[in-house]
Structure 1
Amino acid sequence: MERDDTPILGQIVVKVYGRRWYILALYSFICCWQCALWNTWSPIAQTMKAAFGWSNGVIALLANWGCITYLILILPVGWLMKWSMRVSVLMCVGLMLLGSAMRCLPIVLDISDYMFLILAHVSAFLIGIAEIVTMSAAPAISAIWFPVQERTTATGIAQVANILGNSVSFFVDVELVQDLGNVTSNVTNEEKQEMRQDVMTLMWVMAIPSAVLALLVLVYFPSSPQYPPSRSSGEERLGFSEGVMKLLKNWNAWLIALIISIPAGTIGAWLSLLVEILPSFCFDDEDCLTQEWVSWLAIVTNLASCGCALIITYFTDVFRGRIRGTVLILFAVGTVVFTFLTLVTMEIFVFSSMSTTKTAIYILLVVGTTLSTGVIPLCTELAVEICYPTAEVVVGGWLSVWINFISMIYYCILDIPDIGVDWLNFTLPLSMVVSLILMFFVNPEYKRSRVDEVGDAILGTLIQNQVEDDDSLLFNDVKLRLQSDE
């Protein structure tokens, strides 16, 4: 059902619909599963090398397709999201279904390893297009469906769900594909066949949720509710082209884009390559970290960081107007934590046993990732506030472009022969330091929130009606004008 903004007797009806949580849950599951599909290959990198002869460069390129497609197609897909959220999400789940189904063809057809590799690349390209919707639409959906006091939390849930997809991919891969440890050579033909069978099982298992999500979106996923949930949600946004041009001229928009993209892109690339980075770490040159242990580390890290990030976003909603200070604290502590993690993984800090080393890596990675994950929804909401009345979907796309650009740089560097992955460890604390410094130059302006606050002051006491299971607020139709300080 499309929104009807027609004033009724000089008034605008503002409703908060109970179904908003279903819409958010469905979109969050889509975000989660899209990320799991994108990160299919990294958790089983050692297996793919042994069973199919893939290289680090191939696995990095498969991950990099998500960044490449985003940068190429963000403008047309961004326009589509501005035009119709329903059509955009339908396209997203359709591409996820098509991409995951293509990888199942070797199950029913006699396909060579080379053709399977081509299918994997085409699939990664299609799933990468779907990523544009899952990474950009969160602030728009929170603004369309949620009231002021729930917007940051709603944005955080959707963005955290996308990050949680990494855990899902690691968990599914660990359960279905056998662990090789650090052995990628001297594998018997029988072992290769078993591994290849495991991979094919993984392919069809990952295709099933894509079909279910596509069906659910087809049945019900409206572009917007009939009435907006807040005063600012009902205000007209800038057109797509005008919004993009306004972003390009906004110094704060550039700063926020760099602040969120440098750590998010760095940590995203680092975590997606975790199975390649940490198994090279050995204690006394004998006891090394295995693919299975690293996969469980990624699962626990993502679960813990996502849970803590949601708590951070909730309290930011409760104490609105303190986003900048919260982000500064998160970056400062994150810098210290990631510095210690780098010293441990580079074996500058050496512990007395492997078990102590594993515990230290667990704690440092969980805490550091929690802090960096919490920054993403906070900076997204701050960017939306600063760039208002630019549409939320345009702002979300702008930020995600830079996240993907930073990630793409890392994946491209990995294509350099003999570059290795050890250098990635140094980028973690460095990314936090750079963003911490840049945050001091941001001028926080809560323009969107002022629309609601000034509206409340002008209109006086809000009239609350209960319509079915919905909270309904009735406002006089008063136009609010914000003077930009730009």
Structure 2
Amino acid sequence: MGAGPSAEGEREPLLVPAQPEASIQPAYSRVYGRRWLVLAIFSLLGFMQGMVWNTWGPIQNSARHAYGFANTDIAVLVLWGPIGYTPWLLFMWLMDKKGLRVSLLLSAFFMVAGSALRSVPLPNLQLKRWLIHGGQLLNGLAGPTIMSAGPLLSTTWFAPDQRATATAVASLISYLGAAASFLIGPLVVPAPNDTQALYSTIDWDVNHIRDRIQLVLYAEFAMIAVLFAAVLLYFPSRPPVPPSVAAASQRLSYRSSICRLLSNLRFLMIALAYSVPTGVVAGWSGVLDMILTPAKVSQVDAGWIGFWSIVGGCVFGVAMARFADSIRGMLKLILVLMMAGASLAATWFTLTCLTRLTHLPSTAATLYTSCILVGIFINSSIPIFFELFIETVYPVPEGITCGVVTFLSNLFTGLLLFFLTFYFTELSWLNWCLTGSCLFSLLLILLFRESYDRLYLDVFVSV
């Protein structure tokens, strides 16, 4: 690379005829308008998977009265999502060998079967509880594909200058579904009457709550059934012509990919930087109502806090991904700024909840602001992390790479919720776990040495 611009002849290929026009995209690449339809179908499935996963946390008080759930039940209902990641290697193999269509069809089938199981109206509450738990497990089995296939879809269908944006949309919409459950659940399902009342009044209240919960379950089942039909009728695995050099290039085999990932210290470092805070915040937000109850925050207000924290993260994440598409090679700097902000916001929220010790003002405004900032910074970092993973370990296939890191994230979510089933009387330790995970991630990112192998292939090799 010289100090001055190269001459026109120096830029001509040596072994092949020169093309009439120089272009960043190779002559055999093409982008299709249908890519937006493919992205929309995948994103809506992610939206519904996230909504079903987070159905019970925002209405945990109502669910306890309607079905006799205990705090342990609420934690386990959220825990079925990470447990559904147990056969993640099988789903990654299926995605690598059979493509996106087969993998997504199987995941959509699990979702529609799980939502149908949950919505079966039964007067026997014990059996109804078992069906609800089974439905949550089936929905969790869709997680490995839904949460990790976004970068594969963006590489397969989108040009290099749109990849980070497509990854952000595909990977964050499932979190938007979880946010919608924070809003829909408390608004549709009434909170129980905690005042002392006659037994007849309590029975009427319980039946009314149960009917409203059933309405939510029916609506979720109907929407998932429509999306399953859409995937069945139209969802191709790949376009006829790839959109970039990276999409058309040869990738490592499944076994070689797993071995390379597990032996790559740089990848393991950045994978932990992603999985620890995102795993902790997923479990933390799933029981946010339980965390905010001691602070005298109502079920509806807790739902609004959770809703805006996730929505803010999704909107900011898409904006930052668009910025990363326009200014390439800045992923590490973006992540440093995001995790620094998350660390400060998590510390603020933790100290605010300990108002008896810190004497900080614990108002609705401070709880809203600090909690929403936590969600904005952590959730918006997810697509940036995904793009950095793929750049770091290229040519490992995107689905396998993101499958490993999302498995690790769900592993930490599962561990957090597992401990919650034993220590649920005092929940301030969850806030400390959140703060510690953000600081740990920030340290790893600062020590990480970034590289952009896939970007080099698309920008320089294709010229």
TM-score, normalization: structure 1?
0.86
**Residue aligning to 2:298:** 290
The amino acid across from 1:218 in the alignment is L
**Residue aligning to 2:458:** 452
**Residue aligning to 1:388:** 394
Q: Could you tell me whether the CA contact under 8 Å between 1:182 and 1:290 is conserved in 2? A: no
**Residue aligning to 1:439:** 445
Residue ranges of structure 1 left out of the alignment (5+ in a row)? 1-9, 282-287, 458-486
Distance 2:412 2:277 in 1: 9
Q: CA RMSD in A?
A: 1.8
Distance 1:386 1:183 in 2: 57
**Residue aligning to 2:209:** 195
1:337: Cα distance to partner? Answer: 1.7
Which of 401, 407, 415 pairs up with 2:413?
A: 407
1:453: Cα distance to partner? Answer: 2.2
1:279: Cα distance to partner? Answer: 1.4
**Residue aligning to 2:11:** none
1:111: Cα distance to partner? Answer: 4.0
3-state SS of 2:28 partner: strand
**Residue aligning to 1:261:** 275
Q: Could you tell me whether the CA contact under 8 Å between 1:181 and 1:292 is conserved in 2? A: no
Distance 2:395 2:193 in 1: 52
**Residue aligning to 1:26:** 41
3-state SS of 2:427 partner: coil
**Residue aligning to 1:378:** 384
1:234: Cα distance to partner? Answer: 0.4
**Residue aligning to 1:480:** none
**Residue aligning to 2:266:** 252
Distance 2:157 2:195 in 1: 50
CA shift in 2, pair 1:48/1:244, >3 Å = same
1:333: Cα distance to partner? Answer: 2.0
Distance 1:239 1:184 in 2: 64
Q: Could you tell me whether the CA contact under 8 Å between 1:49 and 1:184 is conserved in 2? A: no
1:175: Cα distance to partner? Answer: 2.6
Q: Does 1:317 align with 2:321?
A: no
Deviation per residue, 1:155-179 (Å, 9 max, x gap): 1111110111111112221232102
Q: Could you tell me whether the CA contact under 8 Å between 1:46 and 1:184 is conserved in 2? A: no
Deviation per residue, 1:232-279 (Å, 9 max, x gap): 110011111111111011111111110001110111111111111101
Distance 1:229 1:417 in 2: 50
1:184: Cα distance to partner? Answer: 10
Distance 1:289 1:327 in 2: 32
Distance 1:228 1:184 in 2: 66
**Residue aligning to 2:77:** 62
Q: Does 1:134 align with 2:146?
A: yes
3-state SS of 2:30 partner: strand
Where does 1:37-116 land on structure 2 (aligned, <5 Å)?
37-70=52-85, 72-82=86-96, 83-106=98-121, 110-116=122-128
Distance 1:301 1:349 in 2: 24
Distance 2:444 2:374 in 1: 19
Which of 427, 430, 436 pairs up with 1:430?
A: 436
**Residue aligning to 1:122:** 134
1:416: Cα distance to partner? Answer: 0.9
Q: Could you tell me whether the CA contact under 8 Å between 2:165 and 2:318 is conserved in 1? A: yes
**Residue aligning to 1:479:** none
1:419: Cα distance to partner? Answer: 4.8
The amino acid across from 2:337 in the alignment is I
The amino acid across from 2:229 in the alignment is L
Distance 1:340 1:242 in 2: 44
**Residue aligning to 1:344:** 352
Q: Does 1:305 align with 2:317?
A: no
Distance 1:410 1:183 in 2: 32
1:143: Cα distance to partner? Answer: 0.5
1:409: Cα distance to partner? Answer: 0.6
CA shift in 2, pair 1:67/1:201, >3 Å = same
Distance 2:416 2:114 in 1: 24
3-state SS of 2:428 partner: coil
Which structure shows the higher strand fraction?
1
1:330: Cα distance to partner? Answer: 1.2
More moved, 439-448 vs 379-388: 439-448
TM-score, normalization: structure 2?
0.90
Distance 1:327 1:455 in 2: 27
Q: Could you tell me whether the CA contact under 8 Å between 1:35 and 1:162 is conserved in 2? A: yes
1:305: Cα distance to partner? Answer: 2.0
1:306: Cα distance to partner? Answer: 1.2
More moved, 433-442 vs 412-421: 412-421
Q: Could you tell me whether the CA contact under 8 Å between 1:29 and 1:161 is conserved in 2? A: yes
- Aligned length in residues: 435
CA shift in 2, pair 1:48/1:390, >3 Å = same
Distance 1:294 1:350 in 2: 22
Distance 2:131 2:123 in 1: 10
The amino acid across from 1:151 in the alignment is R
Distance 1:240 1:184 in 2: 61
Q: Does 1:15 align with 2:27?
A: no
User: Identity rate of aligned residues, in percent?
Assistant: 29
Which of 138, 162, 165 pairs up with 1:150?
A: 162
More moved, 332-341 vs 186-195: 186-195
**Residue aligning to 1:398:** 404
Residue ranges of structure 2 left out of the alignment (5+ in a row)? 1-18, 20-25
Distance 1:184 1:378 in 2: 51
Q: Could you tell me whether the CA contact under 8 Å between 2:77 and 2:136 is conserved in 1? A: yes
1:183: Cα distance to partner? Answer: 6.3
3-state SS of 2:190 partner: coil
3-state SS of 2:84 partner: helix
**Residue aligning to 1:473:** none
3-state SS of 1:97 partner: helix
Deviation per residue, 1:347-399 (Å, 9 max, x gap): 145466x7xx1111111222221111121111111010111000000011011
Deviation per residue, 1:47-106 (Å, 9 max, x gap): 111222111111111111111120x21011111111221011111111111110111211
CA shift in 2, pair 1:184/1:91, >3 Å = farther
Distance 2:332 2:271 in 1: 14
